[in-house]
Structure 1
Amino acid sequence: MTLLASVVDASERVAATRSRKTKTAELAAVLSVAAPDEVLATVVWLAGETRQGRIGIGWRTLSSARPDPAAEPSLTVTEVDAALTELTTITGAGSTQRRKAALGALLGAATASEQKFLIGLITGELRQGALEGVMTEAIAAASGVDAAVVRRAVMLSGDLARTAADAITGGEETLRAVALVVGRPVRPMLASPGSSMDEAIASLGPDVVVEYKLDGARIQVHRTGDDVLIVTRTLRDITSSVPELVELVRGLPCESVVLDGETLALADSGRPRPFQETMSRFGSAEGELLLSPWFFDCLHLDGVDLLDAPLEERLVALERVAGPHRIPSVMRPTPDEAAAHLDAALAAGHEGAMVKDLASPYSAGRRGKSWQKIKPEHTLDLVVIGVEWGSGRRSGWLSNLHLGARDPDGGPPIMVGKTFKGLTDELLRWQTEELPRYETHRDGHTVYLRPEIVVEIELDGAQTSSRYPGGVALRFARVLRYRPDKTPAEADTVDTVRAMRL
């Protein structure tokens, strides 16, 4: 049985290095010695989460329940996983004291370093740099399975930990057997930023499709018969919140289908409403705003999986099943036609355009540049890692945001700037109520946060600067909107920011 101490040691070594190669080796080493029934918990812990989700224990309870640490390690992965499960099942009268006692027993059997690890795990503040891309490579190294096969299994199952267990216990044959299942969400394919329409077409060639880039929310739709599932880009089930979309999907001329697309609320003029209004519908089925779907890909149709088919073939299937709801697009445009389509998208109130290689298969994540997004304004998705109390008119409100870019090697977000521009009174109120829920600590005027919130920033570029750890600083950054539909793993990297230097 694997000791918790070996997982903690691996976590500390991963956190201590910026080298992706070293991180992968350390993770692979601990996975390769884990027993089959320990792999699930080990992978999830090293990603900074628990199999049980949020345990629901705050700092106050942890502080009061923290006993002196054990002198020697004795806890096993299985014992700790069982203890975490027990904590989630304690409810009812007297549950606070019983949970405190169970937590004290767990922490009392842990060494000082194990206590630190467990507290970080329970509070969601464990950040050791084991991002999904690094973990995927580690699973491949530990199991001897090609990384591309591991990535595909993760895409189709939507479950990194389950894929790790299957890879280590069953090898490549087991992973290759993982298939698309209608009703089980697929990890979405993402686009890379493109510098301009001309350069995107020059890099991809003439065989492309150019589509509107809508200012909406990503959705993935599954249907078998009358059973419909609709999920967000993070694979959260929102089916019950969007009955009008469910009704529309049930009316499509097919028996089974998986579609990728966007949804947004439209004003009476036909122009898109603010993004936040669209997102507000994802929390409740009630609401006066109706959502309109626009699809841009078809991954399955009537028993035929299309993931590995070229995009051009997938678009034929899309036109057949959902033509009236297909996103506006032009196939194999001339440079002038592509530019005109971008102009039309902007004139209609959308963000820009997408340029996609018609020969590309569907691959989860941001793999290569077969999909490129073209936007006229410089924008970045960054992580909020702190916020300062305002002064003057903003006294009493949390105002100035500390912004971090994603470390491509899996470390914590790297600070690249601050901004308080673009914040409306409504956003100031929201920040002051919401952001303290992510607090880790604070000093005289700054509240430091767990890196979980993504915000979209508009800027005029970046410049070399020694002021921030990333070696760059944002120029004239201003808040466009928060992105509850995105995770920190989808934020832009510090390399992307550096590439914007003037």
Structure 2
Amino acid sequence: MVLFAEVVATSGEVAATRSRKAKVAALAGLLARLDRAEIRFATAFLAGELPGGRAGVGWSTLSTATVSPSEQAALTVSEVDESIDRLREISGSGSAQRRTDALTALLGAATEDEQRFLVRLLGGELRQGALEGVMLEAIATAAGVRSEVVRRAFMLSGRLALTSEAALTGGEEALAGFRLELGRPLRPMLASPADSLDQALDDLGDASVEYKLDGARIQVHRDGDEVHVWTRTLREITEHVGELVDLVRGLPCRSVVLDGETLALSDAGRPRPFQETMGRFGAQSPRDLLLQPYFFDCLHLDGLDLLDEPLHKRLDALDTVAAPHRIPGMLEPSPDQASTLLDEALDNGHEGVMVKSLDSVYAAGRRGRTWRKVKPAHTLDLVVLAAEWGHGRRTGSLSNLHLAARDPDGGPPIMVGKTFKGLTDELLAWQTEEFPRHATRSDDWAVYLHPEIVVEIELDGVQTSTRYDGGVALRFARVLRYRPDKDAANADTLDAVRALLPKR
């Protein structure tokens, strides 16, 4: 039996070091001591997650919950999980007071360090997708299994705690038991940026080149007449995209898993603004703006899993089932043909092209080198840490953004710059209304946020700088748009920012 205090202490030890090796060692040491019944809960807590989802406790309740801490650590991991479950189940008349009473009881049984951890855990402040990679290494170390086997199981299960339990109780045999399951989303495969189209073609050899659409990533599963649609962050949006469900239900197959993009088009066939596409995912009137799907991968077809097949075979399967809805592209184009395709994509209002090795297998959740994205402008997806109150005509609005990149070693996001450029009146109004809902604190100067909002930044480049913790600073950064389809785990890493430094 492991005390909750040990989880808290390990989390603090991980946060206190920048060494990835030290983080893995600390996490693996605790994981190896867990009883079977504690594995899922402790793994989730260490990753800053709540098993079962949100507990129904708002930040205002947490910030006003004051109770004297316990003198001695006595809470177990299982007791904390049970208490959070009870919080989650409270509903009905008088639920606000009963929830406050239950929260007070939990905090009263916790030490001062445990209280701080619980408030941050329940408030979502500990959620760090960046820690997933470190956690996966720690699970492999604690279980004595290969890290690639753990990563594949996580790709297929989509759940860190479940993967941890399988590894620590059944080793590689249990991990190998995970299969692609219709109705359970896979983590999407990601691409790395390329400096140029020629470089990407040279690096990958036999390749597919296709449009990089200015749309929203979707993953679609069909099993008979049952269809599910998920976003990049694995949020299900099936009920909001009826036209996509109807289209997939009409494909010539019994079962299929497709990866692709969707976007809304204007009457002229050009992509509508990205925010309009994203707005459909929560629309109350789903038929107000129709979405068009463009698929670029097929991961399962009629009982056959294709994850480990090379891309060229997956594309053959895609043509079999959804050729009319395939993303525009070419197989093995010449450099001139690829350049023409890039120009066409840009002329049609899209972002650029994707270059993919025809021999690549589907490696979900990782930015591999076998898929490369080519865009004419430098852009980064960064996390908003804070926003300063504006001056002059922006008085009363939240303006200047503090921007951070994801720590590749699992720490909190690392600041790399600020910008107030590119903010329209509409975006200023949205920020001023939305950011306080994500605040950890505020003062007369700024509002400081949970690291969860992602913004796409266009920039002219990067330079070395001692002003920010990352040792780099953005040059002429400007806001393009917010990315509600991404969370902090999908933000660009500090390594990606440093890769934009001028080559010596």
TM interval, short-chain normalised: over 0.9
* Corresponding residue SS for 2:126: coil
CA gap of 1:62–1:247, structure 2 versus 1, over 3 A, is closer
CA contact (8 A) 1:192 1:366 kept: no
CA contact (8 A) 1:15 1:127 kept: no
CA contact (8 A) 1:69 1:109 kept: yes
Normalising by structure 1, report the TM-score.
Answer: 0.98
* Corresponding residue SS for 2:236: coil
* Corresponding residue SS for 2:84: helix
Aligned to 1:218: 217
Unaligned runs of 5+ residues in structure 1 are none
Distance 2:434 2:33 in 1: 41
| Larger displacement relative to structure 2 (471-480 or 126-135) | 126-135
Q: CA deviation at 1:104?
A: 1.6
1:287-323 deviations in Å (ceiling 9; x for gaps)? 4211000000000001110000000000000011000
Aligned to 1:398: 398
CA gap of 1:331–1:381, structure 2 versus 1, over 3 A, is same
CA contact (8 A) 2:261 2:293 kept: yes
Distance 1:201 1:142 in 2: 40
Q: CA deviation at 1:142?
A: 1.1
Q: CA deviation at 1:224?
A: 1.1
Q: CA deviation at 1:39?
A: 0.9
Aligned to 1:4: 4
CA contact (8 A) 1:408 1:494 kept: yes
Aligned to 2:244: 245
Distance 2:64 2:434 in 1: 25
| Larger displacement relative to structure 2 (64-73 or 292-301) | 64-73
Matched, 1:87 2:87: yes
Aligned to 1:291: 291
Distance 1:255 1:449 in 2: 46
Matched, 1:235 2:252: no
Identity %: 66
Aligned to 1:139: 139
Q: CA deviation at 1:246?
A: 0.7
Q: How does 1:317-336 map to 2 (within 5 A)?
A: 317-336=317-336
Q: How does 1:86-105 map to 2 (within 5 A)?
A: 86-105=86-105
Q: CA deviation at 1:63?
A: 4.5
Distance 1:405 1:15 in 2: 16
* Corresponding residue SS for 2:75: coil
Q: CA deviation at 1:97?
A: 2.4
CA contact (8 A) 2:130 2:407 kept: no
Distance 1:332 1:108 in 2: 65
Q: CA deviation at 1:268?
A: 0.8
CA gap of 1:60–1:314, structure 2 versus 1, over 3 A, is closer
CA gap of 1:269–1:64, structure 2 versus 1, over 3 A, is closer
Q: Across the two proteins, how many residue pairs are aligned to each other?
A: 501
Amino acid at match of 1:324: P
Amino acid at match of 1:57: V
Distance 2:252 2:57 in 1: 48
* Corresponding residue SS for 1:370: strand
* Corresponding residue SS for 2:427: helix
Distance 1:59 1:292 in 2: 38
Amino acid at match of 1:275: F
CA gap of 1:64–1:404, structure 2 versus 1, over 3 A, is closer
Aligned to 2:13: 13
Q: How does 1:262-301 map to 2 (within 5 A)?
A: 262-284=261-283, 285-301=285-301
CA gap of 1:15–1:433, structure 2 versus 1, over 3 A, is same
Q: CA deviation at 1:56?
A: 2.7
Amino acid at match of 1:250: R
Distance 2:337 2:3 in 1: 62
Q: CA deviation at 1:127?
A: 6.2
Aligned to 2:413: 413
Distance 1:380 1:360 in 2: 25
CA contact (8 A) 1:14 1:128 kept: no
Aligned to 1:148: 148
Aligned to 2:167: 167
Unaligned runs of 5+ residues in structure 2 are none
1:12-59 deviations in Å (ceiling 9; x for gaps)? 100000111111111111111111111111111111121132223234
Distance 1:18 1:140 in 2: 20
Q: CA deviation at 1:181?
A: 1.0
Aligned to 2:256: 257
Distance 2:62 2:490 in 1: 31
Q: How does 1:14-163 map to 2 (within 5 A)?
A: 14-126=14-126, 131-163=131-163
* Corresponding residue SS for 1:124: coil
Q: CA deviation at 1:286?
A: 2.5
Distance 1:208 1:14 in 2: 41
Distance 2:233 2:316 in 1: 27
CA gap of 1:130–1:345, structure 2 versus 1, over 3 A, is closer
| Larger displacement relative to structure 2 (87-96 or 257-266) | 87-96
Aligned to 1:344: 344
CA contact (8 A) 1:387 1:399 kept: yes
Distance 2:387 2:457 in 1: 15
Distance 2:144 2:370 in 1: 28
Matched, 1:208 2:191: no
CA gap of 1:116–1:153, structure 2 versus 1, over 3 A, is same
Q: CA deviation at 1:129?
A: 8.5
* Corresponding residue SS for 2:450: strand
Aligned to 2:316: 316
* Corresponding residue SS for 2:148: helix
Distance 2:327 2:60 in 1: 50
Distance 1:132 1:496 in 2: 18
Q: CA deviation at 1:367?
A: 4.4
* Corresponding residue SS for 2:411: coil
Distance 1:370 1:430 in 2: 38
1:106-139 deviations in Å (ceiling 9; x for gaps)? 1111111111111111111126897111111111
Q: CA deviation at 1:62?
A: 3.0
Normalising by structure 2, report the TM-score.
Answer: 0.97
* Corresponding residue SS for 2:388: strand
Aligned to 1:485: 485
CA contact (8 A) 1:52 1:84 kept: no
CA contact (8 A) 1:12 1:128 kept: no
CA contact (8 A) 1:129 1:411 kept: no
Distance 1:256 1:11 in 2: 42
* Corresponding residue SS for 1:269: coil
* Corresponding residue SS for 1:132: helix
Distance 1:176 1:213 in 2: 34
Aligned to 2:462: 462
* Corresponding residue SS for 2:399: strand
CA gap of 1:346–1:415, structure 2 versus 1, over 3 A, is same
* Corresponding residue SS for 2:466: coil
Amino acid at match of 2:215: G
